[in-house]
Chains A and B, each alone.
Chain A
Amino acid sequence: AQTVTQSQPEMSVQEAETVTLSCTYDTSESDYYLFWYKQPPSRQMILVIRQEAYKQQNATENRFSVNFQKAAKSFSLKISDSQLGDAAMYFCAYVGPGTYKYIFGTGTRLKVLA
């Protein structure tokens, strides 16, 4: 069965600095989607960035980028120039081909220090 692991329950970063959140997953599939979702204190789940496994180029969205290592089954999120509004829970998620069962990691709580 596919699994998603986020080994960092909590991380802290100084405002304007860069932080990397880790995510590893296990699958025997070759084509799948990976996501990072942000959950601020408002509880709303917001898509940060997505990656399609067949694309070798790492996805980027403004200050957010991923380091996708397919062979290592690693999908880390880098947040550059961290802002106070980046403070939230971040969830990594996976969905495979031919299935509609999204699998989420346990989350990483990011604190941004002023």
Chain B
Amino acid sequence: NAGVTQTPKFQVLKTGQSMTLQCAQDMNHEYMSWYRQDPGMGLRLIHYSVGAGITDQGEVPNGYNVSRSTTEDFPLRLLSAAPSQTSVYFCASSPEGGAGSGTGELFFGEGSRLTVL
């Protein structure tokens, strides 16, 4: 099983460039989310989605856009990259997400390391 697949795994951008981090899952999970991981700060939620057509902001949404046109895909767009967006990005999915009827377990991709010069 592929699980959660993130591409690319590494990317170097120049300030002001745009790019999209791709995330796809084959587990039919309704919940998908994006995190950034920075040294000493843990993982911080950027955006999340509870189903196709539904997205919402997390803790650090500025500078990032998302959309969810299908259950499987949840791309993260950087419209104008800044050095402050240098980080490792994780996509994670869950059958339902949250503290509800399911386990709430997040299934993570392998991460994408982004460097903005």
| Chain A residue total in the interface (Cβ 8 A) | 31
Distance between B36 CB and nearest chain A CB, rounded to angstroms: 11
| Residue from the list B44, B88, B97, B104 in contact with A104, Cβ < 8 A | B44
Complex alpha-carbon distance, A27 and B56, angstroms: 21
Q: A95-B104, A100-B50 are contacts. A106–B42 as well, Cβ < 8 Å?
A: yes
Q: A50-B105, A95-B104, A97-B99 are contacts. A106–B50 as well, Cβ < 8 Å?
A: no
Name the residue in A42, A97, A103 with the highest tally of chain B Cβ atoms < 10 Å from its Cβ: A103
Interface readout for A11-34 with B: 1 if CB under 8 Å, 0 if not? 000000000000000000001110
Looking at chain A's contact residues, the main secondary structure is: loop
With an 8 A cutoff between CB atoms, is B117 at the interface?
Answer: no
Interface readout for A83-114 with B: 1 if CB under 8 Å, 0 if not? 00000000101011111111111110000000
With an 8 A cutoff between CB atoms, is A55 at the interface?
Answer: no
A-B Cβ contacts below 8 A, count: 70
Complex alpha-carbon distance, A57 and B88, angstroms: 35
Closest to A99 in B: B98
Instruction: Report yes or no: A104 in contact with B111, Cβ–Cβ below 8 A.
Output: no
Interchain Cβ contacts under 8 Å between A and B, 8 examples: A33-B103, A37-B106, A43-B111, A44-B108, A53-B99, A95-B104, A99-B99, A101-B59
A-binding residues in B (CB < 8 A)? 31, 33, 35, 40-45, 48, 50, 56, 58-59, 88, 90, 92, 97-100, 103-106, 108, 110-111
In the complex, the 8 A-B pairs of residues with the closest C-beta atoms, listed nearest first: A45-B108, A104-B43, A104-B42, A106-B42, A33-B104, A33-B99, A100-B98, A100-B97
Closest to B98 in A: A100
Instruction: Report yes or no: B104 in contact with A106, Cβ–Cβ below 8 A.
Output: no
Instruction: Report yes or no: B48 in contact with A106, Cβ–Cβ below 8 A.
Output: no
Chain B residues with CB below 8 A from A97, complex form: 98-100
Q: A91-B42, A106-B42 are contacts. A47–B105 as well, Cβ < 8 Å?
A: yes
Closest to A95 in B: B99
